[in-house]
Amino acid sequence: MAQLTVSSPAKINLHLEVLGQRSDGFHELAMVMQTIDLADTLRFKTTADGQIQLECSRPDLPTDASNLVVRAGELLRARSGFPELGAHIQLDKRIPIGAGLAGGSSNGAAALLGLNRLWGLGFEAPELTAMAAELGSDMPFCMAGGTQLCFGRGELLEPVLPAAADTLAVLLIKQPEAHVSTPWAYGRSRELRGDFYLSEEQEFAQRRDALRQNPLLAQLAEGRCPPRLRNDLQQLVEPEVESVRGALALLAQLSNGSQTANPQLSSPLTVAMSGSGPSCFALFADLGQATAAHGLLANALETAGFEAWCCSFNPVGVSLI
Ligand code: C5P
């Protein structure tokens, strides 16, 4: 029986700009996304029963056709022309769910990669990326990974060259029970900002060019922490989601005298929400600084009921182990 294992890492947004509304109902975006080394694992085995069966270490995650892993398997099988193909997939979750870290999209991308190999289908990367884009806006990024400019719905990728230094690291925090619905966050954006949305393709193109020239990219490539990150959804979500306000306030404590308390925290603090939240992160020049910051905040995080992860930047997306 054939089997294989795929690593399915999370992402954070280093820039998220909502440009306008598209005719397909989605938002036109200009983003910088970054893979981090907080990863789920998917183990695939072939089965002879023609079923795509998903088992997950988190009992609260649906394992039916609403899960992107199952939908990815069904799409791949339909495109292969071999309806009899079956697989058992064991998903071990470490990425928090509904967190703005693209955990579900990454798992779907991992299923495309893993099942293509397991079933010996031979689809090439561009074909898998096209299937990924049909299933979710973040899924093509999750396949490619690293540091990418993401345009359109988020599915049009341009690698940032040179990529962000992989020494950069984050302290990522989230309350276990907190979730933000992505459609809700974009709906709020439409309600509150719709009047200011750009609408012409020429205006979108100008914003894309501006992001390609943004000093953020050079700072990341040189391993320097940018002084600020832009996430247009943060200003909408923060006033309405207590957990996000709490997370940002906790991380901000790191800039209140902690640099003198701990000289390892030498650079000014850059803090942002990831995606539509509620995960928030502080950026550091290396994992040692992120770990030191975690140590300084450990008591406050525990008291406020937050989970925390120290993660490095990862140069690739989903990958065979
Ligand atoms: O593509 P995905 O299924 O991840 O998108 C989830 C939801 O987020 C969409 O149904 C839409 O409400 C919102 N969204 C959006 N514009 C985007 C991406 C997502 O409005 N570019």
Q: What is the mean pLDDT of residues 219-223?
A: 95
Residue whose C-alpha is closest to residue 13's, from 306, 204, 283, 319: 283
Q: Is 166 a catalytic residue?
A: no
pLDDT category of residue 48 using cuts at 50, 70 and 90: confident
Distances (CA, A) of 180 to 83, 194, 202: 36, 20, 32
- Could you report the per-residue pLDDT of 72-91, keeping only the tens digit for each? 999 999 999 999 999 999 99
Report the separation in Å between the CA atom of 261 and the middle of ligand 1, taken as the mean of its atom positions.
Answer: 42
Helix/strand/coil (H, E, C) string of the chain?
Answer: CCEEEEEEEEEEEEEEEEEEECCCCCEEEEEEEEEEEEEEEEEEEEECCCCEEEEECCCCCCCCCCCHHHHHHHHHHHHHCCCCCEEEEEEECCCCCCCCCCHHHHHHHHHHHHHHHHCCCCCCHHHHHHHHHHHCCCHHHHHHCCEEEEEECCCEEEECCCCCCCCCEEEEEECCCCCCCHHHHHHHHHHHHHHHCECCHHHHHHHHHHHHCCHHHHHHHCCCCCCCCEECCHHHHCCCCHHHHHHHHHHHHHHCCHHHHCCCCCCCCEEEECCCCCCEEEEECCHHHHHHHHHHHHHHHHHHCCEEEEEEECCCCCEEC
Pairing, β 230-231 against β 169-174: unpaired
CA atoms within 13 A on the CB side of 106: 36
pLDDT at 305 over 60: yes
- Could you report the per-residue pLDDT of 256-265, keeping only the tens digit for each? 655 445 555 5
Report the separation in Å between the CA atom of 186 and the middle of ligand 1, taken as the mean of its atom positions.
Answer: 7
CB atoms within 10 A of CB 71: 18
- Residues 237/180, Cβ–Cβ less than 8 Å: yes
Q: What integer best gives the mean pLDDT of the chain?
A: 95
pLDDT of residue 262: 59
Is the CB of 153 within 6 Å of ligand 1?
yes
Contacts of 175 (CB under 8 A, 6+ apart): 243, 246, 247, 278, 304, 305, 306, 307
Report the residue among 184, 186, 208 best suited for mutation to probe ligand 1: largest number of ligand atoms under 8 A from its CB.
186
Report the residue among 137, 153, 157, 204 best suited for mutation to probe ligand 1: largest number of ligand atoms under 8 A from its CB.
137
Choosing from 11, 37, 40, 174, which is the catalytic residue?
A: 11
Q: In this structure, what token pair is assigned to residue 77?
A: 């099988």
pLDDT at 111 over 60: yes
Contacts of 311 (CB under 8 A, 6+ apart): 10, 36, 37, 38, 169, 170, 172, 290
Q: What is the mean pLDDT of residues 207-234?
A: 96
d(CA 73, CA 53): 10
pLDDT at 101 over 90: yes
pLDDT of residue 3: 94
Report the residue among 27, 105, 155, 179 best suited for mutation to probe ligand 1: largest number of ligand atoms under 8 A from its CB.
27
- Could you report the per-residue pLDDT of 243-254, keeping only the tens digit for each? 999 999 999 999
Report residue 3: phi and psi, to 5°.
Answer: -150, 155
Q: Please report the atom of ligand 1 found closest to the CA of residue 152.
A: 21
pLDDT at 302 over 90: yes
Is the CB of 71 within 6 Å of ligand 1?
no
For atom 13 of ligand 1, which residue has the closest CA? 183
Q: Is 286 a catalytic residue?
A: no
Pairing, β 147-152 against β 27-47: antiparallel
Report the separation in Å between the CA atom of 308 and the middle of ligand 1, taken as the mean of its atom positions.
Answer: 26
For atom 2 of ligand 1, which residue has the closest CA? 136
Q: What is the mean pLDDT of residues 60-67?
A: 96
d(CA 146, CA 217): 13
Contacts of 106 (CB under 8 A, 6+ apart): 8, 9, 10, 11, 39, 40, 95, 142, 317, 318
CB atoms within 10 A of CB 135: 20
- Could you report the per-residue pLDDT of 123-149, keeping only the tens digit for each? 999 999 999 999 999 999 999 999 999
Is the CB of 46 within 6 Å of ligand 1?
no
Is the CB of 11 within 6 Å of ligand 1?
no
pLDDT category of residue 255 using cuts at 50, 70 and 90: confident
- Could you report the per-residue pLDDT of 277-296, keeping only the tens digit for each? 999 999 999 999 999 999 99
For atom 20 of ligand 1, which residue has the closest CA? 26
pLDDT category of residue 22 using cuts at 50, 70 and 90: very high
Q: What is the mean pLDDT of residues 176-182?
A: 95
Report the separation in Å between the CA atom of 26 and the middle of ligand 1, taken as the mean of its atom positions.
Answer: 6
Report the separation in Å between the CA atom of 248 and the middle of ligand 1, taken as the mean of its atom positions.
Answer: 24
What's the predicted TM-score (pTM) here? 0.95
